[in-house]
A and B are shown apart, each in its own frame.
Chain A
Amino acid sequence: MWRYFAPAAAFLVLGALFAFALLRIGQGKLDVHEIQSPLIGRAAPAFALPSVTDPTQLVDSRALAGKMYVLNVWGTWCGGCREEHSALLAIARTGGVPLIGIDWKDERDLAVQYLAQLGNPYQQVGSDADGRTAINWGVYGAPETFLVSATGTVLAKHIGPITEAAWQEKFVPHLKAGGGR
């Protein structure tokens, strides 16, 4: 009656998996806390959103194709966005790569006022009022920042307020390799 041993055998397999996982965590080869976007290495989701600064214009991912760009998801209601704003302004000045903003679940006049007050780091800002685009990008909290290659592939992602250190670590290597300048 070997079938009665199936539960024990199944559990041994599970135990082996756990032991292997622990071993790899111990060796520093496995970091479960690192959340990588499933988008990385894949094609960036397309979007076409009315521009915040000029609602008659569209911010269209097709028009952005052919050069690298940084996509930043933000909102006037988001404290972390306010926090990262100076870093974004610095990146816009010296990063050598255009910033595209996605104003997430926000009201247009508030966004215009916000950018006028704090400065506008974005080359273009699209208004994602119903949050559809952010869903496509797998955003679950603002701010989030992505790097998209000239061929439209997502290269990097940062969750939470971006800092100079995070920018240097996650984004700059791609810019150098991909000839962002």
Chain B
Amino acid sequence: MIPELGTFALILAMLLAAAQAFFGLAGAHRNRLSWMQVVTPAVTGVWVFVALAFGLLTWSFINHDFSVNYVATNSNSALPLMYRIAAVWGAHEGSLLLWIMILATWTLLVAALSGSLPVAFRARVLGVLGLIGVGFTSFTLLTSSPFTRLMPAAMDGADLNPLLQDPALAIHPPMLYIGYVGTSVAFAFAVAAMLSGRLDAPWARWTRPWTVAAWMCLTCGIALGSWWAYYVLGWGGWWFWDPVENASFMPWLTTTALIHSLAVTEKRGMFKSWTLLLAIFAFSLSLLGTFLVRSGVLVSVHAFASDPSRGLFILALLLFFIVGSLTLYAIRAPTLKSEGGFELVSRESFLLLNNALLIAAAGLILVGELWPLLMDTFDLGKISVGPPYFNMVFLVPALPLVALLGVGMHAGWKRAMLQSRRRQLLTLAGAALALALLVALGGYGSIGMPLTVVGLTAGFFVMASALIEPVEAWRRGQKLPRAAIGMAIAHFGVGVFVIGVTGVVSYKVEKDVSLAPGESTSIAGYNFKYLGTQPVVGPNYEAVEARVVISRGGSVVSDLATQKRVYRVQRNPMTHAGIAVAWNRDLFVALGDDLGGGKWSMRLQYKPLVRYIWLGAVVMALGGLVAILDKRYRVRRTAEVPALAPGAAGKRA
């Protein structure tokens, strides 16, 4: 009964989303207020029924209903409660339901917080979101229902993929999806602007907080995924240029570009058609990611079970939304006029460069992502594009991007007065270089790789440069607007991230060893002594746990346990790494294979500054959060919002 109710709730949600789309778009087109007034109740209804469906699937998981095919394939009676809940989005069908749940929640938030928007504009935004909802709900119902029954019911479930049984992974997909799906809000704003022909400063101001919110979640989601890969995949790598990682990174780059481009559109009334294009691209790349992951055209550790019929359905969705919006763009863009010009050295031109570099990076990653598929499809040979390509094509735009960032932050609109800051920036750059050399030579005893000092200098320079304005304001006793503080924090985070990446890439030490109990080996000045193994029994797995004591100069630094787990149902072994964390480095031990006679192979790693990679991402996201809380996004500027319909004025007071 419960799964049937879930299907029914999802059907109702789809119908309500269709109503939301129709009355929103048609109501705005015909300027019928009564139609547009239906939209908000429809949005609420969609959310209620999607939440009901989601809740019912969760209920089936919690209560071990193995008559539901999806539960039987992704859960087990021994699976702990937390992972039974996380298993809801552990595979294709449930994660689609999560996608829809998050879309419904974003839509509800937009509906709740957009009371100050012109009624027709708001109806269009919600209408477009409704259309996306219809697309994905029908996709779920027609090709991938999580509520399908299994006849006869399974005695027990096939268990959740052991890789996914981890706290970070329980929250990584929701976070990432919140970001992915959040790009649909910016997309809906862009389409609504193109439909209404209204693309001005207030439009940009409404769009900005939503875009930043989506970007923030995307940032956290990607960082969580990276962190998860670091300690769960057991290899100690933090980024693999895996097709699915790329699928999340490309929307991130595009959304980052969009945030910056929106700033120009808001403040200066320029880059309008470019901003529209970016909003479409960000959403398109999110959809593309969904397609690539779920259609089986790419090979990845993340890929869901492939099914070409599903692939064709998403492809149709993809074409409808992307080609539709790009055609609308082609019709609308020629009519958009820039409201001003700018000098060669100005904040605008720095932001233009920022956009060009971010989009170049995203484009080159896309080429690397799709090239093997292109070659394979036309029988031109099988190739794989790996980290060497991606590292190169990312580093080439990323280096100038970071270098320009430190200076560009201080450029004024229209025409920059960089002369006044020149001395200050040069001093900071010199200090950053000195600090970089100090860290490289004093901390690690070598210059490292060719770009080590460049990376460290750039990181320190950006961090220092981001602090100039907050420090000056603090000295003068002034208060900076939250948006400016947020920007400073986010850029500071970029610097932290760059330091982390440079440190770990330049000075990491890895060693694969085989050790017998009592034997020890040392890397990077740390002595790793292997004490021996003991069996451990978990709720749904058995493990061998190895104890390794790490010492430096005779004193014990850490006493680590690392496990090799075999999950009872799926039988594939999993490494649970032991990590000793400190502010300046991680020491990482991953247990390998039993070599007989008590000997085990192990991978030992010394990872300097690795934490700063994720810390940097968290700081960036925090900056986004502070910026969203800026007052001007909340104060309703009645004067700037022309009332398009009679009901609009009454709502604001």
Answer whether residue B556 sits at the interface, using C-beta atoms and an 8 A cutoff. Answer: no
Question: Which of B311, B333, B370, B595 is A22 in contact with, Cβ under 8 Å?
Answer: B311
Interface residues of B in 571-629 (CB under 8 A from A): 592-596, 601
Answer whether residue A177 sits at the interface, using C-beta atoms and an 8 A cutoff. Answer: no
Query: Is the beta-carbon distance between A4 and B333 smaller than 8 angstroms?
Result: yes
Query: Is the beta-carbon distance between A79 and B594 smaller than 8 angstroms?
Result: yes
Answer whether residue B374 sits at the interface, using C-beta atoms and an 8 A cutoff. Answer: yes
User: Mask for A11-36, Cβ within 8 A of B = 1, else 0?
Assistant: 11011011111111110001011111
Interface residues of A in 60-74 (CB under 8 A from B): none
- Interface size class, chain A: 20 to 34
Query: Is the beta-carbon distance between A34 and B315 smaller than 8 angstroms?
Result: no
Query: Is the beta-carbon distance between B299 and A22 smaller than 8 angstroms?
Result: no
Q: How far is the CA of A84 from the CA of B326 in the complex (A)?
A: 54
Answer whether residue A1 sits at the interface, using C-beta atoms and an 8 A cutoff. Answer: yes
Query: Is the beta-carbon distance between B512 and A105 smaller than 8 angstroms?
Result: yes
* Contact A17 to B514, CB < 8 A, known contacts A5-B327, A25-B297, A79-B601: no
User: Mask for B325-339, Cβ within 8 A of A = 1, else 0?
Assistant: 011011101100000
Query: Is the beta-carbon distance between A22 and B308 smaller than 8 angstroms?
Result: yes
Nearest B-chain residue to A77, judged by Cβ: B601
Nearest A-chain residue to B601, judged by Cβ: A77
Query: Is the beta-carbon distance between A1 and B334 smaller than 8 angstroms?
Result: yes
Nearest B-chain residue to A7, judged by Cβ: B326
Query: Is the beta-carbon distance between A76 and B514 smaller than 8 angstroms?
Result: yes
Q: Identify the stretch in B2-10, B91-99, B376-384, B427-435 within 8 Å (CB) of chain A at 4 or more residues.
A: B376-384
Q: How far is the CA of A101 from the CA of B651 in the complex (A)?
A: 79
Residues of B near A11 (CB, < 8 A) are 284, 319, 322-323, 326
Residues of B near A110 (CB, < 8 A) are 514
Which among B330, B334, B370, B384 has the highest number of chain A CB atoms within 10 Å?
Answer: B330
Answer whether residue B26 sits at the interface, using C-beta atoms and an 8 A cutoff. Answer: no
Residues of A near B382 (CB, < 8 A) are 34-36, 38
Answer whether residue B306 sits at the interface, using C-beta atoms and an 8 A cutoff. Answer: yes
Query: Is the beta-carbon distance between B296 and A32 smaller than 8 angstroms?
Result: yes
Query: Is the beta-carbon distance between A20 and B326 smaller than 8 angstroms?
Result: no
- Shortest C-beta distance, B532 to chain A (Å), equals 18
Answer whether residue A8 sits at the interface, using C-beta atoms and an 8 A cutoff. Answer: yes
Which among A7, A33, A110 has the highest number of chain B CB atoms within 10 Å?
Answer: A7
* A residues in contact (CB < 8 Å) with B: 1, 4-5, 7-8, 11-12, 14-15, 17-26, 30, 32-36, 38, 76-79, 82, 105, 110
* B residues in contact (CB < 8 Å) with A: 273, 277, 280, 284, 291, 295-299, 306, 308-309, 311-312, 315, 318-319, 322-323, 326-327, 329-331, 333-334, 370, 373-374, 376-377, 381-384, 512-514, 592-596, 601
The 5 closest A-B CB pairs, nearest first, are A79-B593, A8-B326, A77-B601, A4-B330, A1-B334
Q: List 24 A-B contacts (CB under 8 A).
A: A1-B334, A4-B330, A7-B277, A7-B329, A7-B330, A11-B284, A11-B319, A15-B318, A15-B322, A18-B315, A22-B308, A22-B311, A24-B377, A25-B296, A30-B376, A32-B296, A32-B298, A32-B376, A38-B382, A76-B514, A77-B513, A79-B594, A79-B601, A82-B593
Task: Name 12 extra pairs, CB < 8 A, besides A11-B322, A105-B512.
Answer: A4-B331, A4-B334, A8-B323, A15-B319, A15-B322, A15-B323, A18-B315, A32-B298, A35-B384, A38-B381, A77-B595, A77-B601
